[in-house]
Amino acid sequence: MDIKSAILNVLIGLILLSVFLLCMLPPIILIKYYQLHISEDVMQFAFGTLKYLLLLFGVSFGSFLFIPGFLFRIARLTPKEGEYELTVKNKEVFKWILAQGLYTISLIAGRMFIHAKLLVFKLFGAKIGKGVLFQGWTTDPFLTEVGDFSVIGGGAKILAHIADKPGRIIFRRVKIGKYCLIGFNALIMPGAVLDDYVILGAYTLIPKDAKLDRGLWVGIPARKIRDVNPDELMR
């Protein structure tokens, strides 16, 4: 590793540490300045303590949920789609590494509830339609699109980056249409485009840059085994 790369890696570490400490600041201020009323009445003391703990949890939860996402948006850290040299000296790779760090910090809160996770995805640029149930994960929400009323099953993962060549990395947007059903532990690779009414079976692998039309797809790699009537998914 050359000196410039080392300096940039240290810079990223310092930025992310600063963001983490910034997220800790609101609950620390609350602990320092909020006066917990000590009452001789057991019920009042219990109620006051519960209120204090709930307030502390809410402030901590909100700080980790929102602050990294807002900083991501302000700094415009979404990397441009394309293939790049896998080095921190590359501008798009630098942005991506920083975005991934902020995303990880935000998921400290986002992993607690499914709706919080969905909010984190949206704060980090994911385009998610109405009525979407997102039980799986995306490694790069800023390069992820999911259409209305689609379901991303548990364990399913959407990847919008891949380093499948030595020293190179690719960023490609993944697009999932409306009324799609992504099965348990399915894996969708960068650049994949799924039309409306696509069903993926459990453990199905969608290769990089694949285009899937309406139908039921299964296997590794995915193969279409039959067409799908839209009524099947809209009942």
Instruction: Using CB atoms within 10 Å of the CB of residue 79, give its burial: 0 to 12 exposed, 13 to 18 middle, 19+ buried.
Output: buried
Q: Is the pTM of this model over 0.75?
A: yes
* pLDDT score of 10 more than 80: yes
Last residue of a domain, one of 114, 134, 158: 114
* pLDDT score of 47 more than 70: yes
Instruction: Determine the pLDDT at residue 214.
Output: 93
Q: What is the CATH number of the domain that holds 212?
A: 2.160.10.10
User: How many structural domains comprise the chain?
Assistant: 2
Last residue of a domain, one of 89, 114, 139: 114
Q: Are residues 108 and 1 in the same domain?
A: yes
Answer yes or no: is 39 within a domain.
yes
Q: Can you spell out the DSSP letters for 201-234?
A: -TT-EE-TT-EE-SEEEETTTTEEEE---HHHHH
What are the CA-CA distances from residue 213 to residues 142, 145, 153, 180, 192 (Å)?
Answer: 24, 16, 19, 11, 11
Instruction: Determine the pLDDT at residue 39.
Output: 65
3-state class (DSSP) for residue 46: helix
* pLDDT score of 172 more than 90: yes
Confidence of residue 46 (pLDDT cuts 50, 70, 90): confident
Q: Are residues 71 and 131 in the same domain?
A: no
Q: Can you spell out the DSSP letters for 58-124?
A: HHHHHHHHHHHHHHHHHHT-PPPSEEEESSTTSHHHHHHHHHHHHHHHHHHHHTS-HHHHHHHHHHT
Answer yes or no: is 61 within a domain.
yes
Structural domain span for residue 84: 1-114
